[in-house]
Amino acid sequence: MTKSMKWLQAKAPGFNHLAKDEQAAITDFALLWSLFESRVLDTEGNVKAICGAVEAWQETGRLDADAFNPELGYFRQRYYADGAFTYHFDHLHLRNPDREALVRAVIDGSDNDPCSRMAAVLIIVFRYRNNLFHGVKWQYKLQGQLGNFTTANDVLMKVLERHGALADG
Protein backbone atom coordinates (compact mmCIF):
# COMPACT_ATOMS: atom_id res chain seq x y z
CA MET A 1 0.00 0.00 0.00
CA THR A 2 1.28 3.42 -0.91
CA LYS A 3 2.02 6.15 1.61
CA SER A 4 -0.87 8.20 0.16
CA MET A 5 -3.36 5.33 0.51
CA LYS A 6 -2.27 4.79 4.12
CA TRP A 7 -2.76 8.48 4.80
CA LEU A 8 -6.20 8.51 3.15
CA GLN A 9 -7.28 5.50 5.18
CA ALA A 10 -6.11 7.14 8.38
CA LYS A 11 -7.26 10.71 7.76
CA ALA A 12 -9.96 11.00 5.07
CA PRO A 13 -13.52 10.72 6.42
CA GLY A 14 -15.05 7.38 5.46
CA PHE A 15 -12.21 6.29 3.19
CA ASN A 16 -11.16 3.46 5.47
CA HIS A 17 -14.70 2.05 5.29
CA LEU A 18 -14.52 1.61 1.52
CA ALA A 19 -13.70 -1.81 0.16
CA LYS A 20 -10.44 -2.16 -1.74
CA ASP A 21 -12.30 -2.46 -5.07
CA GLU A 22 -14.10 0.84 -4.31
CA GLN A 23 -10.81 2.56 -3.54
CA ALA A 24 -9.23 1.11 -6.67
CA ALA A 25 -12.14 2.15 -8.94
CA ILE A 26 -11.90 5.75 -7.72
CA THR A 27 -8.11 5.83 -8.08
CA ASP A 28 -8.32 4.25 -11.54
CA PHE A 29 -10.92 6.82 -12.55
CA ALA A 30 -8.59 9.71 -11.76
CA LEU A 31 -5.86 8.25 -13.97
CA LEU A 32 -8.20 7.23 -16.79
CA TRP A 33 -9.88 10.64 -16.82
CA SER A 34 -6.52 12.38 -17.02
CA LEU A 35 -5.48 10.22 -19.98
CA PHE A 36 -8.88 10.72 -21.65
CA GLU A 37 -8.73 14.48 -21.23
CA SER A 38 -5.21 14.54 -22.65
CA ARG A 39 -5.67 12.13 -25.57
CA VAL A 40 -9.28 12.71 -26.55
CA LEU A 41 -10.16 16.23 -25.44
CA ASP A 42 -6.79 17.86 -26.12
CA THR A 43 -6.62 18.92 -22.44
CA GLU A 44 -9.96 20.76 -22.69
CA GLY A 45 -12.12 18.93 -20.14
CA ASN A 46 -15.56 20.42 -20.77
CA VAL A 47 -18.88 19.57 -22.39
CA LYS A 48 -18.14 21.63 -25.49
CA ALA A 49 -15.00 19.56 -26.13
CA ILE A 50 -16.89 16.32 -25.43
CA CYS A 51 -19.65 17.19 -27.89
CA GLY A 52 -17.07 18.30 -30.45
CA ALA A 53 -15.26 14.96 -30.19
CA VAL A 54 -18.53 13.03 -30.54
CA GLU A 55 -19.51 15.06 -33.60
CA ALA A 56 -16.08 14.43 -35.17
CA TRP A 57 -16.44 10.68 -34.59
CA GLN A 58 -19.86 10.78 -36.24
CA GLU A 59 -18.56 12.74 -39.24
CA THR A 60 -15.72 10.26 -39.80
CA GLY A 61 -17.91 7.18 -39.29
CA ARG A 62 -16.12 6.14 -36.07
CA LEU A 63 -18.83 6.87 -33.49
CA ASP A 64 -19.87 3.28 -32.59
CA ALA A 65 -22.37 4.42 -29.95
CA ASP A 66 -23.84 0.89 -29.71
CA ALA A 67 -20.60 -0.28 -28.08
CA PHE A 68 -21.61 1.83 -25.08
CA ASN A 69 -25.09 0.35 -24.65
CA PRO A 70 -24.17 -1.53 -21.44
CA GLU A 71 -22.95 1.67 -19.80
CA LEU A 72 -25.93 3.66 -21.07
CA GLY A 73 -28.15 0.93 -19.65
CA TYR A 74 -26.52 1.35 -16.25
CA PHE A 75 -27.05 5.12 -16.35
CA ARG A 76 -30.66 4.75 -17.45
CA GLN A 77 -31.38 2.32 -14.64
CA ARG A 78 -29.68 4.52 -12.05
CA TYR A 79 -31.20 7.82 -13.13
CA TYR A 80 -34.66 6.90 -14.44
CA ALA A 81 -37.20 4.47 -12.99
CA ASP A 82 -40.97 4.04 -13.09
CA GLY A 83 -41.41 6.89 -15.55
CA ALA A 84 -39.52 9.48 -13.49
CA PHE A 85 -36.00 10.65 -12.83
CA THR A 86 -34.55 9.20 -9.62
CA TYR A 87 -33.11 11.26 -6.81
CA HIS A 88 -29.66 10.24 -8.07
CA PHE A 89 -30.15 12.37 -11.20
CA ASP A 90 -30.12 15.63 -9.24
CA HIS A 91 -26.89 14.50 -7.59
CA LEU A 92 -25.11 14.75 -10.93
CA HIS A 93 -25.24 18.52 -10.31
CA LEU A 94 -25.60 19.34 -13.99
CA ARG A 95 -24.83 22.98 -14.70
CA ASN A 96 -25.99 25.24 -17.55
CA PRO A 97 -23.21 24.26 -19.99
CA ASP A 98 -23.77 20.54 -19.30
CA ARG A 99 -26.67 20.16 -21.75
CA GLU A 100 -29.11 18.87 -19.16
CA ALA A 101 -31.98 18.67 -21.66
CA LEU A 102 -29.95 16.34 -23.87
CA VAL A 103 -28.93 14.15 -20.93
CA ARG A 104 -32.53 13.95 -19.71
CA ALA A 105 -33.84 13.03 -23.16
CA VAL A 106 -31.28 10.26 -23.56
CA ILE A 107 -31.81 8.90 -20.06
CA ASP A 108 -35.61 8.80 -20.37
CA GLY A 109 -35.28 7.24 -23.83
CA SER A 110 -36.96 10.02 -25.80
CA ASP A 111 -33.72 10.72 -27.71
CA ASN A 112 -31.95 7.66 -29.07
CA ASP A 113 -29.82 9.39 -31.66
CA PRO A 114 -26.31 7.82 -31.56
CA CYS A 115 -24.56 11.20 -31.16
CA SER A 116 -26.90 12.19 -28.35
CA ARG A 117 -26.44 8.86 -26.57
CA MET A 118 -22.65 9.05 -26.78
CA ALA A 119 -22.57 12.68 -25.65
CA ALA A 120 -24.89 11.96 -22.72
CA VAL A 121 -22.76 9.03 -21.55
CA LEU A 122 -19.62 11.16 -21.63
CA ILE A 123 -21.34 14.12 -19.97
CA ILE A 124 -22.37 11.89 -17.08
CA VAL A 125 -18.78 10.66 -16.76
CA PHE A 126 -17.67 14.31 -16.86
CA ARG A 127 -20.05 15.09 -13.99
CA TYR A 128 -18.51 12.23 -11.98
CA ARG A 129 -15.16 13.85 -12.65
CA ASN A 130 -16.32 17.26 -11.50
CA ASN A 131 -18.16 15.89 -8.48
CA LEU A 132 -15.09 13.89 -7.41
CA PHE A 133 -12.43 16.50 -8.13
CA HIS A 134 -14.45 19.40 -6.69
CA GLY A 135 -15.29 17.55 -3.50
CA VAL A 136 -19.00 16.77 -3.89
CA LYS A 137 -18.41 13.00 -3.71
CA TRP A 138 -16.70 13.44 -0.34
CA GLN A 139 -20.00 14.65 1.12
CA TYR A 140 -21.11 11.02 0.82
CA LYS A 141 -17.72 9.78 2.05
CA LEU A 142 -17.43 8.22 -1.41
CA GLN A 143 -19.92 5.53 -0.39
CA GLY A 144 -22.15 3.87 -2.98
CA GLN A 145 -19.92 4.87 -5.87
CA LEU A 146 -18.48 1.53 -7.01
CA GLY A 147 -20.99 1.04 -9.83
CA ASN A 148 -20.61 4.63 -10.95
CA PHE A 149 -16.85 4.59 -11.15
CA THR A 150 -16.65 1.06 -12.56
CA THR A 151 -19.05 2.07 -15.33
CA ALA A 152 -17.24 5.37 -15.92
CA ASN A 153 -13.92 3.53 -16.12
CA ASP A 154 -15.38 1.15 -18.71
CA VAL A 155 -16.56 4.14 -20.77
CA LEU A 156 -13.18 5.83 -20.58
CA MET A 157 -11.24 2.69 -21.52
CA LYS A 158 -13.51 2.02 -24.51
CA VAL A 159 -13.21 5.59 -25.73
CA LEU A 160 -9.44 5.58 -25.26
CA GLU A 161 -9.10 2.31 -27.18
CA ARG A 162 -11.13 3.71 -30.09
CA HIS A 163 -10.10 7.37 -30.11
CA GLY A 164 -7.17 7.89 -27.75
CA ALA A 165 -4.22 7.67 -30.14
CA LEU A 166 -2.50 5.52 -27.51
CA ALA A 167 0.01 4.11 -29.99
CA ASP A 168 1.37 7.59 -30.62
CA GLY A 169 3.18 7.52 -27.27
Residues whose CB is less than 8 angstroms from the CB of residue 98 and which lie 6 or more positions away in sequence, other chains included = 47, 123, 126, 127
Provide the domain count of the chain. 1
Does some domain include residue 76?
Answer: yes
Does some domain include residue 87?
Answer: yes
pLDDT at position 144, please? 82
Prediction pTM value:
0.94
Does some domain include residue 3?
Answer: no
Does some domain include residue 149?
Answer: yes
β-pair partners for 80: 85
Does some domain include residue 132?
Answer: yes
- What's at 105, amino acid-wise? A
- What's at 159, amino acid-wise? V
Does some domain include residue 2?
Answer: no
How does residue 136 score in pLDDT terms, banded at 50, 70 and 90?
confident
Residue 80, SS3 per DSSP: strand
How does residue 81 score in pLDDT terms, banded at 50, 70 and 90?
very high
Sign (positive/negative) of CA torsion 32, 38, 42, 45? positive
Q: How far apart are CA 107 and CA 77, in angstroms?
A: 9
Does some domain include residue 78?
Answer: yes
Please report, rounded to a whole number, the percentage of residues in the chain having pLDDT higher than 90. 79
Does some domain include residue 7?
Answer: no
pLDDT at position 16, please? 86
Q: Which domain holds residue 40?
A: 20-163
